[in-house]
Amino acid sequence: MRNEGASLGVADGLEFRLLGPVEVWRGPERLAVSSRHQRSVLAALALRPGRAVSVDALVDAVWEEDSPQSARRQVVKLVSRLRCALGDAITTRSGDYILNAGPDQVDASVFDSSVAGARRLSATDPAGAASAVREALRLWRGPALSGVTSGLAAQATWLEESRLAALEDGVDWELAAGGHAALVAELTILAVEHPLRERLVGQLMLALHRSGRTTEALEVYRRTHERLADDLALAPGAGLQQLHVAILRDDPAPAAPTLRPGARPRVAVPRQLPAAVAGFTGRASQLKELTGLLDRNDTVVISAINGTAGVGKTALAVHWAHQVADRFPDGQLYVNLRGFDPSGQPVRPAEAIRGFLDALGVPAQRIPAGLAEQAALYRSQLADRRILVVLDNARDTSQVRPLLPGSAQCLTVITSRDHLGGLIVSEGARAVPLDLMTTAEADDLLTSRLGPERLAVEPQAVSDLIEICAHLPLALSIVAARATLTPALSLTELAKQLRDARDRLHALDIGDTSVNLSAVFSCSYRTLSAAAARMFRLLSLHPGPDISVPAAASLVGTGRDQAHAALSELTRAQLLTEPSTGRFTYHDLLRAYSAGKACQDETAQARRAAMHRMLDHYLHTAHAATLLLNPPNDQLPLAEPQPGAFVDELADDGQAWQWFTTERPVFPAAIDRAADAGFDTHAWQLAWSVASFCIRAGHWEQMVTTQLVAIAAAERAGEPRGQAWSLRELGRAYTRLGRYPDAQASLHRALDLDQRLGDLIGQARSHNNLGIVSYAQGDHPEALEHGKTAYALFHAAGHRPGQADALNAIGWMQTQLGRHAEALRSCLQALELHRAVGSRHGEADTWDSLGHAHHNLGEHRRAIACYHNALDLFQKLGSRHPQADTLIRLGATYHDAGDFHTAHHCWQQALPILDDLHHPDAAALRARLAEHPPAP
């Protein structure tokens, strides 16, 4: 770790090396740290020298998520073994561990300090700054944190990002000092290692151009442009495009692209906060403490609001977030992590990150599969942006740690019943404990809801109500709603009713056994109309975070208007909230109370019938929606929906896409609930019905999870056809994730079942999907063979729509092999068949393929005519997403024909369609429009 440019202070003779294989040295001797688990504990301590690290944080460092029950005990043993090697370097304080080393004894800290000094020096001495960075980079001996467990993957990614950023800064300063010729060889290697890192690519282009090798610089840009388009469906960023133009113009002093905010391409600005809290009162000291965090911009700021259930943590966080939203111009992210929701499992970190990446406008194809990689991409998206992140209702430290930004410009607010001590110790989170309301705050809350005049008449009753509600904001809000809805009822009588209540909420532990929340809840529950009370009970059967009016109508088996009236009554009584128009939810304490009332007041048969109707709502609506998205799909043999089940009427694929997008968080829980409750056929059929949306929207990991549940459900139900259908969907998901061996295994299992069932159409579908796997792996000849086999099977089954689909797929594959004339013949046959069977969607798809073949033959006029035929049909059918696809290809044809103005117009027509559908392709199209502005 020692080097001439950056020596380490070693007062106790120890040096800790993290920038490569994790090692510890005493002078010339490397000490033995034998196991990966030991090295992980050592690294976690050395990343925070001199700071207390909790046992929980060390457990996370060693095991990430799946820690054994004995994890804490094992960590204690690991630390004990490290002490044998390190002596007194590790000490204990209040149950936490501290590595007693200075920053100058840890190579990662030395590196950070050296780079920070170089950046300060760069303004006056760029050459000196570059030299200092080069010296600091010599501390690196390989990939950071090598030889440790996956629990430190995010920290390793962050260290690697720091190395590359420092290297890029140093190259900038060397270029400024005229060192372009000497940098070409190094930058050529770096650009190969990091082909999508545009700053390095731009530096290589600049070094080549300044060295008189302009043709090579332009070739680098061309290759990068193609790589971005092929791998990510993106165009180069604005900075790289500007450098390209400057080199083409032979500007005398083109500048390398930088990461300044002004040079960024246009990005999405998320606004995810729930509706502002009406009538919020009190909590002045906590609000002041939270606002004080805004002035700390030198470090990553995390605030952990903790307190018992019902104490108002979410209300405080959301109220404050709305107050300061203007201080975060790059947006606000929010997620309810459902850490203590009695209805289901907490939200997985990967699911939450995926939601954030969607909100940040990251295209689905850019999102990696692994949690560590997703977390790294998420942090990269937040770098140099000022965003407020609200993580509501967190279960524990391990759930939120992957969701924390790495940028000091962002601020994270977390609410939890857990104290999140691991974050306080290891991440420096600021604890904001939230206790019960003071008497004055509780009085203010009731005053804001009921008015000072009413409270002044019965001061003793007000005091009694505050005592009965145990100063809990949730309980006080419900009581205030009860008093508002029955103005003739005196507060004294209301307090008497509450004191006389006998039932208690035994299932909940809110930390104070004297609190009778059941009395508060039952006071409002008993005054509900019969319809609203039944709605309240049956809502506990719904597995999702929130529910729509049609789904609620299906639960109770009434009409939509009656259901909406019941939901509105519950909202007025403060037993439900409406976070967005037409979506209803409630606090998990109320959910638990609701579940208890359902078990008490509804028979098992009634509960099962309600669940049956609810599952019918989701299944039949999803099935209709997927047929709108993919009209050639085979239809499932659905049973008739139960009387009282409400099926949404969707007019076109745009409405179908919007329905899927809104309901997506419900699907995994609904499929699990169906399987757990014995509705196995519903489970696999619902999983199949949402699969096409998941494929298009990029929710491939979710799709894998649901299809595995579906396969098991179909097997239990004795439905091998359902197994085969589910296996095919699993294969499609694995294909999108790049897990090609898994995809092939799933599809071959499906094919085997199809063959045993004698299902020729199923076999054809499986071959079609195997062709896609081959295509994805670049094996176009094999993909074509699968397409031909699929056609033969469809032909043998007399399935003319399938034959037409297969011929169209064959034609598309022939274009990939450069056999465009053959492609035209295949697609013309497909067109004839589609017309014969009356498949206008298939006809439109085939016109699109014909346009693509003519375009590749250079027959632009014919291509344009074919694309217009496709567009006419898609518009008549209301198929908005295919319209956008065809408009994009039509624009490319006009562009290649030299009509840049019309090309731009086509792309402009496609963009609002994709935006309306919240489709990930919108970002790529927006980048293309920026790259190809309209002709003057």
pLDDT digits (tens, 9 = 90+) for 87-141: 778 888 767 788 888 888 889 888 988 888 888 888 788 888 889 999 999 999 8
For 610-657, what is each residue's pLDDT tens digit?
A: 999 999 999 999 999 988 877 666 789 899 999 999 999 998 877 888
pLDDT band at 70 (very low <50, low <70, confident <90, very high): confident
67 neighbors 59 (Cβ within 8 angstroms): yes
For 918-931, what is each residue's pLDDT tens digit?
A: 666 777 788 888 77
680 falls within a domain:
no
10 Å Cβ neighbour count for 288? 9
Q: Is the pLDDT of residue 723 over 90?
A: yes
Q: Which two tokens stand for residue 155?
A: 């920290």
Looking at residue 268, its pLDDT comes to: 65
657 falls within a domain:
no
CA 843, 845, 851, 857: dihedral to nearest 10 degrees?
Answer: -110
C-alpha span between 682 and 688 (Å, rounded): 10
Place of tokens 């790495």: 406
C-alpha span between 804 and 820 (Å, rounded): 18
Looking at residue 232, its pLDDT comes to: 55
200 falls within a domain:
yes
Q: Are both 872 and 901 inside the same structural domain?
A: yes
Q: Is the pLDDT of residue 420 over 90?
A: no
pLDDT band at 262 (very low <50, low <70, confident <90, very high): very low
pLDDT band at 208 (very low <50, low <70, confident <90, very high): confident
800: left (phi over 0), alpha (psi -120 to 50) or beta: alpha
For 491-540, what is each residue's pLDDT tens digit?
A: 998 888 777 644 333 322 333 333 346 655 676 687 789 999 999 999 99
655 neighbors 663 (Cβ within 8 angstroms): no
726 falls within a domain:
no
Starting at the edge strand found earlier in the chain, the sheet holding 577-580 runs: 547-548, 583-585, 577-580
pTM tops 0.85: no
Q: Is the pLDDT of residue 664 over 60?
A: yes
DSSP for 780-812, written as a single string? HHHHHHHHHHHHHHHHHTT-HHHHHHHHHHHHH
Looking at residue 342, its pLDDT comes to: 62
Q: Which two tokens stand for residue 481?
A: 């709603």
Mean pLDDT of 322-349: 83
Mean pLDDT of 388-392: 93
Q: Are both 845 and 894 inside the same structural domain?
A: yes
645 neighbors 518 (Cβ within 8 angstroms): no
Residue by residue, what is the 3-state secondary structure of 283-295? CHHHHHHHHHHHH
C-alpha span between 748 and 433 (Å, rounded): 56
Q: Are both 295 and 422 inside the same structural domain?
A: yes
Q: Which two tokens stand for residue 825?
A: 């013949």
For 237-258, what is each residue's pLDDT tens digit?
A: 767 877 887 787 776 566 655 5
Residue by residue, what is the 3-state secondary structure of 820-873? HHHHHHHHHHHHHHHHHHCCHHHHHHHHHHHHHHHHHCCCHHHHHHHHHHHHHH
10 Å Cβ neighbour count for 529? 12
Q: Are both 25 and 119 inside the same structural domain?
A: yes
Mean pLDDT of 576-591: 80
Domain closes at, from 137, 165, 190: 137
Cα 623 from chain centroid (whole Å): 25
Percent of the chain clearing pLDDT 70 (strictly above): 87
Return the minimum-mean-pLDDT range out of 128-132, 265-269, 270-274, 825-829: 265-269
CATH number at residue 569: 1.10.10.10
Q: Are both 805 and 919 inside the same structural domain?
A: yes
Q: Is the pLDDT of residue 801 over 70?
A: yes
Q: Are both 47 and 120 inside the same structural domain?
A: yes
More reliable by pLDDT, 253 or 317 = 317
Looking at residue 785, its pLDDT comes to: 94
DSSP label at residue 273 = P
Q: Are both 398 and 489 inside the same structural domain?
A: no
Q: Are both 254 and 293 inside the same structural domain?
A: no
CATH number at residue 359: 3.40.50.300
CA 732, 735, 739, 740: dihedral to nearest 10 degrees?
Answer: 110
Mean pLDDT of 826-841: 86
For 637-647, what is each residue's pLDDT tens digit?
A: 899 999 999 99
Looking at residue 792, its pLDDT comes to: 96
Looking at residue 616, its pLDDT comes to: 97
CA-to-CA dists, residue 23 to 74, 103, 423, 910, angstroms:
21, 16, 26, 55
Mean pLDDT of 441-461: 90
pLDDT band at 770 (very low <50, low <70, confident <90, very high): very high
More reliable by pLDDT, 13 or 677 = 677
Q: Are both 506 and 534 inside the same structural domain?
A: no
User: 887 is in which domain, residue-wise?
Assistant: 799-812+821-936
C-alpha span between 566 and 527 (Å, rounded): 13
303 neighbors 290 (Cβ within 8 angstroms): yes
Q: Are both 840 and 885 inside the same structural domain?
A: yes
Q: Is the pLDDT of residue 26 over 80?
A: yes
Q: Are both 543 and 555 inside the same structural domain?
A: yes
More reliable by pLDDT, 680 or 736 = 680
Domain count, the chain: 6
352 falls within a domain:
yes
388-394 and 301-306 strand pairing: unpaired
Mean pLDDT of 66-85: 81
C-alpha span between 150 and 293 (Å, rounded): 32
Tell me which amino acid residue 663 is.
E
Q: Is the pLDDT of residue 230 over 70?
A: no
CB burial class (10 A; 0-12, 13-18, 19+) of residue 222?
exposed
Residue by residue, what is the 3-state secondary structure of 118-160? HHHHCCCCHHHHHHHHHHHHCCCCCCCCECCCHHHHHHHHHHH
Q: Is the pLDDT of residue 351 over 90?
A: no
Three-state DSSP at 471 gives coil
State which of 95-99, 278-282, 374-378, 669-673 shows the largest mean pLDDT: 669-673
Domain closes at, from 602, 617, 635: 602
DSSP for 551-619, written as a single string? HHHHHHT--HHHHHHHHHHHHHTTSSEEEETTEEE--HHHHHHHHHHHHHHS-HHHHHHHHHHHHHHHH
- Angle at which helices 860-877 and 880-896 cross, to 10°: 160
State the maximum Cα–Cα separation within the chain, in Å, rounded to a whole number. 91
Q: Are both 41 and 122 inside the same structural domain?
A: yes
Cα 669 from chain centroid (whole Å): 17
Domain closes at, from 508, 526, 544: 526
CA-to-CA dists, residue 475 to 144, 449, 569, 726, angstroms:
51, 13, 17, 46
622 falls within a domain:
no
Write phi, then psi, for 881 (nearest 5 degrees): -65, -45
Q: Which two tokens stand for residue 600?
A: 């008490």
590 neighbors 542 (Cβ within 8 angstroms): no
743 falls within a domain:
no
782 falls within a domain:
no
C-alpha span between 388 and 270 (Å, rounded): 10
Looking at residue 61, its pLDDT comes to: 78
CATH number at residue 200: 1.25.40.10
Q: Which two tokens stand for residue 808?
A: 């169209």
Over the chain, what is the mean pLDDT? Answer: 83
For residue 284, the cross-strand partners are none
Looking at residue 518, its pLDDT comes to: 67
Q: Which two tokens stand for residue 350?
A: 């990967």
Return the minimum-mean-pLDDT range out of 696-700, 887-891, 910-914: 696-700
Tell me which amino acid residue 808 is.
N
